[in-house]
Structure 1
Amino acid sequence: MRYVNLIISFMIFISFSFGITDKQLDDLIGKDYKTFRGIDETGKVVNIKSLIKEGKPAVIIFFALGDKPGTFDFLPKMNALYDRYGRNVTFVAVLLSRSSPEEVKQLKKMLPLKIPVLLAYNETIKRYSISKVDVPYIVFIDKNGKIKRIILRPESTMIKERPDVDHSDYENKTQNERIKSSIQIIEKYIKDIGG
């Protein structure tokens, strides 16, 4: 039993140790967004700069396949915001996986997800200090290419946001209520960056 407790403690320590720190998040705010390469839905390698047009705000949503609430419960709710603001704001969903474009097509149907997906991995993870415990990881970029806001885990009681916002009320909400609240908050931030 002692070994089981030790192993559980070690796993909890490891899972939280590799999450992004508050300082790392704070260091991104107000700076130019970090570029990275990925594979678009046609299988072509592209730079995120080719997707985010100068003078147009953007929302980048980093996600992972193994994250059920964030990917399968939260991400499809972003479709409504994409439908509403996609003409004025660039949306990109970045899958942090070694999946193929064919797997992306299947995933988009299954979720369903309208937002264009870009496959990315090591370079992206390093540039944004992303760990599995941080996704969905949403970056709001203004029309000047500056990061204005970041939200991690919007469906979770462990939501983290920079600039810092108190989400202690999430403790008393169901997952569906947290997702609904987060979508409302995200819509406000999209309007703030020029949606």
Structure 2
Amino acid sequence: MSDNGLVNLGVLVSGNGTNLQAIIDRIEAGALSARVACVISNKGDARALQRAEKHGIPAIHLPYKGFDGREAYDAELVRILKDHGVELVVLAGFMRILTPVIINAFSNRIMNIHPALLPAFPGLDAQKQALDYGVKVSGCTVHFVDAGCDTGPIIIQAVVPVLEDDTEDTLSQRIHKEEHRIYPEAIRLYSEGKLKVAGRRVVVG
């Protein structure tokens, strides 16, 4: 928690940062009781870092090069996050698999968003997987992170229809709109103490 009682977020990013922007916008509109304490990217040219700087948020480039393995890298992530008083870690297009070093340090306090209705189509290229499979609906999922790949307890999901003439790009655009809606909502539920993990289920209330 920050000094004013808001939930301190640490956002991990690798790219454009549109979900980061959606979270920042919701906070600045007064609709989300949280504070982005820091934004960390493994890529120095990630536009998300520029978004953070624009809003006066500490923007940290932490390249993987120079670390002796993934565990050492994640240990440094944990150090930075804790130095900034982070309570909830938010993955917003962070293109690295987390190790138990950070997962255990923030147990049930790491959220991720995935562009499919998990457990369907985990991993990379989820929209392409959905189109190739021929599903009639797809969507996105916010979940807590565990040691598996997109296997953690599901917090919230949104459904998007798959149209006959959809391409990977058009489907992705519609899914992104829902991501920008439900990710801040999941963080809001956490900030209000309304999320409880019970086995594989996340109980909301």
TM range (shorter): 0.3 to 0.5
TM-score by length of 2: 0.41
Q: Hey, which of these two has a bigger chunk of strand by percent?
A: 2
User: RCO higher in 1 or 2 (8 Å CA, sep ≥ 6)?
Assistant: 1
